[in-house]
Amino acid sequence: MLNYRGNRVKKIIVFLVSLGLLIVVLFPFVWMLYTAFKPPGTGLIFSLKTGLTLENFKKVLFEYNFLRYFKNSFIVAFFSATFSTLFAAMAAYAFAKKRFFMKNTLFWLFIASMMVPGLLYVIPQFLVVYKLRWMNTYQGMIVPHLANVFGLFILTQFAKEIPDSLIEAARIDGASDFKIFLFLMLPLMVPIVATVYLLNFQFHWSNFLWQLIVAQTDRMYTVPVGLAMFKNAHQEAYTLEMAASSLSIIPIAIIFVFAQRYFIEGITQGAVKG
């Protein structure tokens, strides 16, 4: 009887602690959404009598060019995530299943580059983009970040666990390396590829510094840059800022909802195989 009561008390304590942590985590999002629907000029007023309105979202989308910022962010994030994940998967196949000169040395050199702070790459990347006249262009935002060493590492570790016998059987059937990668390796790597893609998309969607450097006019601003400029231009417009911030998280939330099964499966398999 005492053990039963003790276990019940423990469960209640765990539930209350979890509930408290959930409230702490969700409170900023709830406050952001609540403020986004409040009438302009009432951002710092906590009252249920203020009412709710969609006016902030209309102004953000149609008066402050956030539709253009969303388009720019989607183009940059989609193509950056797609090609960086594809290149990482192709390289992972080579490092996991192929033999070539200095393979291990090159792999660990790539891994060692992860220890270099990203800010050290900014100046060389800027000089290259400037010399190529890619400032204020999509390619200037996308191309410098197509190399994804972290994704390469995760995908390589996963690809190593795929049996070599499958690849040998495909070669006996006359499949080329391209067909083996496309029709054998990629389908088996779908969970971890989806995980890497989601992480890449999230990174490029929220990337601020590089997009601020490359974007020279508001025509090329992305959502993070637009939010920063919006704050500078409208210090008092808290309701508009919260509306813009609420809109900025929608694409990430949608992608995670549809890809969460692959994301969780990829993280779990990666942990087990690691």
Average pLDDT over the chain reads 85
pLDDT of residue 271: 43
User: Which structural domain, as residue segments, surrounds residue 131?
Assistant: 54-273
Task: Characterize 176-192 residue by residue with b for buried, 16 or more Cβ atoms within 10 angstroms of its Cβ, and e for exposed.
Answer: ebeebbeebbeeebebb
pLDDT of residue 266: 57
pLDDT band of residue 87 (cuts 50, 70, 90) is very high
Nearest alpha carbon to residue 191 among 170, 168, 162: 162
pLDDT of 261 above 80: no
pLDDT of residue 213: 93
pLDDT band of residue 211 (cuts 50, 70, 90) is very high
Residue 117 belongs to a domain: yes
Q: How many other C-beta atoms can be found within 10 angstroms of the C-beta atom of residue 111?
A: 14
Residue 19 belongs to a domain: no
Percent of the chain with pLDDT over 90: 38
Cα gap 272→274, rounded to integer Å = 5
Residue 49 belongs to a domain: no
- pLDDT tens-digit series, residues 155-199: 999 899 889 898 999 998 888 989 999 999 998 888 889 889 988
H or E stretch at 95: helix 66-97
Rank 41-45, 207-211, 233-237 by mean pLDDT and report only the highest.
Answer: 207-211
Residue 34 belongs to a domain: no
**Which CATH number goes with the domain that contains 197?**
1.10.3720.10
pLDDT of residue 28: 87
pLDDT band of residue 235 (cuts 50, 70, 90) is low
Q: What is the DSSP string of 125-182?
A: HHHHHHHTT-TTSHHHHHGGG---HHHHHHHHHHHTTS-HHHHHHHHHTT--HHHHII
Domain count of the fold of the chain: 1
This model's pTM is above 0.85: no
Mean pLDDT of 140-155: 92
Nearest alpha carbon to residue 148 among 178, 118, 172: 118
